[in-house]
Structure 1
């Protein structure tokens, strides 16, 4: 049905007799909607930054981190979580793990993973316009990632302190141009590989030359990490008591000994749980073809209800462990005041109401995981099992939120939080069994599904 001019004129006349519409129209045409519709009564009632369940000494772990103009939030959230124990063990004050070190190798590995996917799909996806091929071509070296992809990089390359490999290279903190150049080259490679797919000897030759060219580009835009994964480095530091410490080890040894990651046993590594109400709870969910390191672990989640997620957050905090989580950010986030709350803006005052459920928002691409942060505290009222609010550590610098911290309400957590990462030992036995059993067949979702979104 086409739009009729007469109908538009009729509606316009109707609107002009509505005083609420006239007021809304006047204000919205002169001011930013988020500023004028901010519900300050709600803000005042929710802005209580008292938490009775928290990581010990968290306020003394500095600095506030800043991913700047890059999509490295997942690397910041993961390393911010790991640095807490390192700080405590070594009696440190200012400390960061090197996000740039992980970023360099993740981007290099993603380029190689993309080449592998193009070769693997060339004979089955003969149409260049197929949905899978077009999706693979979209952003082959996306800055973002999932926690299992973080573990893939760490298992191969280890971890180093930021002072060993820092953010001095421009493209580390402002990655747009590097991504553009790599993407253009990889799309060119994709065409070449698909055209020559029936000559596997030539494909092998091409692949080596392509890997070399990508590495050359990477090392022109970013410094080559000064040590290899199994090469020893020396790191000297000064602790809170002004004592000088010295560590000599490899990046892989640092990850195991100081970050307490048992890289030799997947059953002891952290796991991801999600809340995706489109699918049955208690089921594993796998994202097909999503990854970064060839031979690395697949992206697999356990789907659970919101109550389970919330209770596991509380349990981890009670055990003095912070929680990596993925959410749809910055929806309903006030960056200047540092509050995440679905009721913070009074859009219903202008007749704008959204009625989709969480499942529908995922299904219709209105919501997905877009950002990763860290929960360091929560507040559970007496007699309650679930928190009313959480303290969130972001990676957008000290000027974002209140000194880099945000208050997140339970309503926000239930509606826009999708993922948390926990240790296997945090899970009750029945949930551990889901990950450990060989009999559990996961629900397989295509790479373009919203649950395959990469946190940036």
Structure 2
């Protein structure tokens, strides 16, 4: 063992006292916030370039705001799918109901958790799996495949029909705490009861969870197969109405293709590219699709983003946010803060950051534009639409550099038809039946919030 030598502390401190660079850095950082003091204004000016030669034609409005909730994945996905609606119906502004999806996701996650508890009854309660399941059974975050699971079952509706009026929709902390406490209690009961009592207990628990959830949010006014009527006014002040089911609205107006569904691509340099990666036991709807990724290199991801934008389609993506993200100026750049000036140097690769718990996907947003220099195929910067309101970034928009994309972007979602043939073929090969399986606690299983 190598214990800390107390006598060495004074020696080290004395040596640092003779280092003018350390003294200057220490003086600055003892008087100012590090993010403010070390922001490289020269770099900021260079990277704050809002020119994009490839971008979607629609100007999405209004700027959305998830507020104090972890619903970014629902906002990013619905911000993407509102664009076909706006084009088709000639709308100036439009939002899909994130609250509608939030309600059913909470309900389904609670039920999915109860099922996982039953499935793991033979595991010791102290096991890593059971303890992980108990950590946060109904957290707000999610993955794109989980979004699809909810939409396949419940569809989509306009926000006009079911908005964010309930307090806990936009500030979910206490609601989540109460749900978690009750579900942990239920977990104990399910693990300790006789097997014969499980079906009846599960049904009663589902009813009790529904009761608890509806204390905080109303049951949405329309079911997935019930017809709703929505009246709206287009850009030209003409009034119209639509009558359809939420499932029809998702496919006919949002133009969500489910046969085959969109696919998630990731960049995880810990594993071979060209392999499918599945996250074990991660989901929200019993019987829904698994969380499945195709692992590809950064160049492929970048080219697919540019290709999709050139087809007038935005790109859902997941990143480690707010790492190296300036919320005031709206720039995402790895070199935006001059940490090297104070002797703070980082050497870990992306793969090592993932391995050692330093990096993972935490937030989902939308890419709506990029700039590809003439004669090249890979963008140098991207236009990002966030869901933190107009006061975040420049009217809700950010510039993301290519270096940031490569180091801190983990996932993009594209339509199956966007894939080059060699990637599409992987889903039809033996790899589809034998993906790399990662445990639920792996960083690639992190839920975007």
| Fold equivalence (TM over 0.5) | yes
In the TM superposition, what are the counterparts of 1:251-400 in structure 2 within 5 Å?
A: 251-263=246-258, 265=259, 267=260, 269-400=261-392
CA shift, 1:44, in A, is 0.8
Separation in structure 2 between the aligned mates of residue 283 and residue 180 of structure 1, nearest angstrom: 37
CA shift, 1:223, in A, is 1.1
Separation in structure 1 between the aligned mates of residue 237 and residue 213 of structure 2, nearest angstrom: 38
| SS at structure 1 position matched to 2:215 | helix
1:100 aligns with 2:99: yes
1:205 corresponds in structure 2 to 200
CA shift, 1:200, in A, is 2.4
In the TM superposition, what are the counterparts of 1:48-67 in structure 2 within 5 Å?
A: 48-58=49-59, 61-67=60-66
Deviation string 1:103-150 (CA, Å, 9 cap, x unpaired) is 000010000000000001102x1x111000000000000100000000
2:16 corresponds in structure 1 to 15
> Aligned Cα RMSD in Å?
0.8
Q: How many residues align?
A: 447
1:455 aligns with 2:448: yes
**Structure 1 stretches (4+) deviating beyond 6 angstroms?**
none
Larger CA deviation: 379-388 vs 343-352: 379-388
1:190 aligns with 2:187: yes
Separation in structure 1 between the aligned mates of residue 251 and residue 20 of structure 2, nearest angstrom: 66
Pick aligned residue for 2:130 from 133, 140, 145: 133
Can you give the 5+ residue segments of structure 1 that lack an aligned partner in the other structure?
Answer: none
CA shift, 1:436, in A, is 3.2
Separation in structure 1 between the aligned mates of residue 431 and residue 364 of structure 2, nearest angstrom: 31
CA contact (8 A) 2:58 2:83 kept: no
| SS at structure 1 position matched to 2:318 | strand
2:426 corresponds in structure 1 to 434
Pair 1:262–1:438, CA change in 2 (3 A): farther
2:167 corresponds in structure 1 to 170
Pick aligned residue for 1:246 from 231, 241, 263: 241
Pair 1:439–1:378, CA change in 2 (3 A): closer
Pick aligned residue for 1:421 from 410, 413, 421: 413
CA shift, 1:363, in A, is 0.4
| SS at structure 2 position matched to 1:311 | helix
1:114 corresponds in structure 2 to 113
Deviation string 1:326-385 (CA, Å, 9 cap, x unpaired) is 000000000000000000000000000110000000000100000000000000111111
CA contact (8 A) 2:76 2:364 kept: yes
Pick aligned residue for 1:229 from 217, 224, 232: 224
Deviation string 1:190-236 (CA, Å, 9 cap, x unpaired) is 0111111xx22211111111101100000011111001110010000
Separation in structure 2 between the aligned mates of residue 94 and residue 260 of structure 1, nearest angstrom: 18
1:154 corresponds in structure 2 to 151
1:180 corresponds in structure 2 to 177
1:408 aligns with 2:407: no
Separation in structure 2 between the aligned mates of residue 317 and residue 89 of structure 1, nearest angstrom: 18
CA shift, 1:434, in A, is 1.4
Separation in structure 1 between the aligned mates of residue 216 and residue 106 of structure 2, nearest angstrom: 12
CA contact (8 A) 2:106 2:138 kept: yes
Deviation string 1:384-428 (CA, Å, 9 cap, x unpaired) is 111110000000000000000000000000000000000001001
CA shift, 1:262, in A, is 3.5
Pair 1:428–1:377, CA change in 2 (3 A): same
1:69 corresponds in structure 2 to 68
| SS at structure 2 position matched to 1:413 | helix
CA contact (8 A) 2:276 2:431 kept: no
| SS at structure 2 position matched to 1:279 | coil
TM, length-normalised to structure 2: 0.99
CA contact (8 A) 2:97 2:160 kept: yes
Separation in structure 2 between the aligned mates of residue 5 and residue 365 of structure 1, nearest angstrom: 30
CA contact (8 A) 2:96 2:157 kept: yes
TM, length-normalised to structure 1: 0.97
